[in-house]
Every structure is written in C-alpha cells, then in structure tokens.
C-alpha cells in the first residue's frame, strides 16, 4: 500500500520506469524533462542502461531484477506516486518484476509505452519479453501507447498502414486490456504515409480521432517516450475535469507538436535529434 500519511500538494509525483539514453532524447532522462516541463515532479527507476547517441545504440545492459525490485519498493514505500510511465524494460525478467511490483503497490495511472525498437532501428526489447508484457504488464496498464509497428508486433500481424486498419487494431489492442474497468489505447499514427497523421484514442466505447499536421524534421528521437510521459504527467492534473483522459491526451499532443516544431533550436548530435522539451519555458 502507499504510505498512509502523505503531504498534499497540487503538484503530482510521476514516475518513469525505463532505460537510460545518454544523449537525453529518450528514456528516463527525456521523461524527467517532460514531467518538469508540464508541471509534475519526476522520479525515475532505471530498468535498463544503453550506450547510444542520436545515430544508434551500441549496447544494452539490463540490471539484476532484484535491484529493479528494490528501486521500486524503496520509492513507493516513501513517495505517493500519482502516475507511472513505463518505457524500455529490456528483458522478460525485468518486465515480470515491474508488473508484479506495480500490482503489489496498486500503482495509479500506469501509462505503458511498449518500447521495442529505437528510432535508429536498433532492438530494445527481447522477443521473449513481448509475451510477458501482454500477459503480466497489460493488466496493470491504465493506457497503452503503441505506434503502428509496435501494434503489429503485439497483435502478431503486419502493422496498420491505413486509418481503417488502425481502427481494427485499436479495437483488438483494447481486447488485450481488462474489460471490467476504464482502460485506454492510444494508437499513434506517425508511421502513416502522407502529410497528415492521425492518432486514435479508444476506451472500448468511444473511438476518438486526433489529427495533426506532419512536421518535416529529422529531430524525432524519443517522440514516443515523450508523448507517453506527457500523458502520464497530465492525467493527475486533469482528474475530476470534463473527459479528463481525452483532455490530458489532447494537451500532451499539442505540447509535443510544439516541442517538435522548435527542435531545430537545439544542436544535439548528427542523427535523429531530440525534441525541444522546454520550448514553452526557454526563450526562443
């Protein structure tokens, strides 16, 4: 259980359980920037270490599951966490450990980004962990946020390449989540061809189309991490409002579009650069 005596504050505590990207464009470091930019206090549990930059991944190290468990238990025993974002987990063993501890602590607002492949094309999740993610971690998730290739892997089929196929994929993904409570799928359509993109937000009842213009830039490293962490940061802040999940997702997407549009103000690496997490706070 969460600590019974906790200080009240309007600033939510939000946790990232993910890997570390030394270039800061993805993973825990990007998540913490996102939380900070959107008014949340960020905490982090390290589930994997990577040697990577904007051009590729040179290596992955997965820490012992006992230490992942110790990080989670030590943090939850002290801090009331209002939301948890899950990113790169690396292995089936870590995935199972994270799922078991989140269930133990009854974690709130778990946003699961099923990270499988880096922007460079490098694999970030062992194949053996995919089934474990579906079986053990999906039951803990309030929302899953796959992109189209990830949706294909999770469903054991080719990824959708039309909006019509996205509708069916979103429906099938929702069937993988518990049916007895409010759970959401945010299917990200950034891999669709054309100048426009559409994300789908689905709770098993309402299918909400979220269109956006495509911004031409190579600075798209960590966009998936950043969007899911933005949603996690905003869900507690919209609680009690009108259609809080939809409102949080819409605000997160609008903020991310600004971060992508102003990514050219940064000069980080020679490959796929990061988005500008602090575009709304730093002077242009």
The structure's pTM equals 0.93
Q: Say if strands 184-187 and 196-202 run parallel, antiparallel, or are unpaired.
A: antiparallel
Check residue 176 and give its pLDDT: 95
Q: Among the options 145, 223, 226, 273, which is catalytic?
A: 223
Average pLDDT for 127-141: 90
Q: Among the options 224, 258, 264, 273, which is catalytic?
A: 224
The structural domains of the chain, with segments of one domain joined by +, span: 14-265
For residue 266, give every residue at least 6 positions away whose Cβ sits within 8 Å of its Cβ, in sequence order, or none: 219, 273, 274, 276
Task: Give percent above pLDDT 90 in the chain.
Answer: 80
pLDDT in tens, 99-118: 999 999 999 999 999 987 65
Q: Among the options 25, 222, 226, 273, which is catalytic?
A: 222
Q: Among the options 54, 188, 189, 226, which is catalytic?
A: 188
Helices (H), 61-142: 65-76, 92-105, 127-132
Average pLDDT for 143-154: 93
Q: Among the options 34, 159, 225, 226, which is catalytic?
A: 225
Average pLDDT for 164-179: 96
Q: Among the options 34, 84, 220, 226, which is catalytic?
A: 220
Does residue 3 register a pLDDT over 60? no
Does residue 1 register a pLDDT over 50? no
Average pLDDT for 197-216: 94
Is 224 annotated as catalytic?
yes
Is 220 annotated as catalytic?
yes
Tell me which residue of 84, 88, 42 sits closest to 63, measured CA to CA.
88
Does residue 259 register a pLDDT over 50? yes
Is 34 annotated as catalytic?
no
Check residue 190 and give its pLDDT: 85
Is 241 annotated as catalytic?
no
Is 43 annotated as catalytic?
no
Is 95 annotated as catalytic?
no
Q: Does domain 14-265 have CATH number 3.10.180.10?
A: no
pLDDT in tens, 72-95: 999 999 999 999 999 999 899 999
Does residue 120 register a pLDDT over 90? no
Check residue 43 and give its pLDDT: 98
Average pLDDT for 218-239: 95
Burial 21-53 (b: 16+ CB within 10 A, else e): bebbbbbbbbbbbbbbbbebbbbbbbbbbbebb
pLDDT in tens, 29-73: 999 999 999 999 999 999 999 999 999 989 999 999 999 999 999
């Amino acid at each position: 259980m969460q600590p019974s005596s906790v200080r009240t504050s309007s600033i939510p505590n939000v946790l990232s359980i993910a890997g570390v990207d030394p270039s800061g464009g993805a993973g825990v470091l990007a998540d913490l920037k996102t939380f900070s930019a959107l008014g949340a206090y960020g905490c982090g549990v390290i589930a994997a270490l990577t040697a990577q930059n904007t051009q590729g991944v040179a290596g992955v190290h997965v820490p012992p599951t006992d230490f992942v468990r110790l990080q989670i238990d030590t943090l939850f025993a002290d801090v009331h966490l209002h939301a948890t974002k899950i990113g790169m987990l690396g292995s089936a063993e870590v995935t199972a450990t994270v799922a078991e501890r989140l269930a133990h602590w009854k974690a709130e607002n778990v946003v699961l980004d099923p990270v499988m492949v880096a922007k460079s094309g490098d694999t970030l999740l062992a194949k053996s962990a995919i089934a474990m993610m579906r079986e053990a971690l999906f039951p803990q998730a309030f929302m899953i946020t796959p992109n189209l290739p990830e949706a294909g892997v999770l469903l054991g089929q080719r990824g959708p390449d039309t909006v019509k196929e996205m509708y069916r994929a979103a429906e099938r993904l929702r069937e993988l989540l518990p049916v007895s409570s409010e759970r959401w799928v945010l299917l990200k359509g950034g891999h669709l061809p054309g100048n426009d993109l559409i994300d789908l937000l689905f709770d098993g009842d309402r299918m909400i189309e979220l269109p956006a213009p495509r911004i031409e830039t190579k600075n798209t490293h960590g966009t998936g991490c950043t969007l899911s962490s933005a949603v996690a940061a905003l869900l507690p802040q919209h609680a009690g409002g009108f259609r809080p999940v939809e409102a949080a997702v819409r605000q997160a997407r609008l903020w991310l579009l600004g971060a992508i549009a102003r990514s050219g103000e940064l000069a980080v690496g020679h490959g796929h650069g990061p988005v500008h997490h602090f575009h709304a706070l730093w002077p242009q």
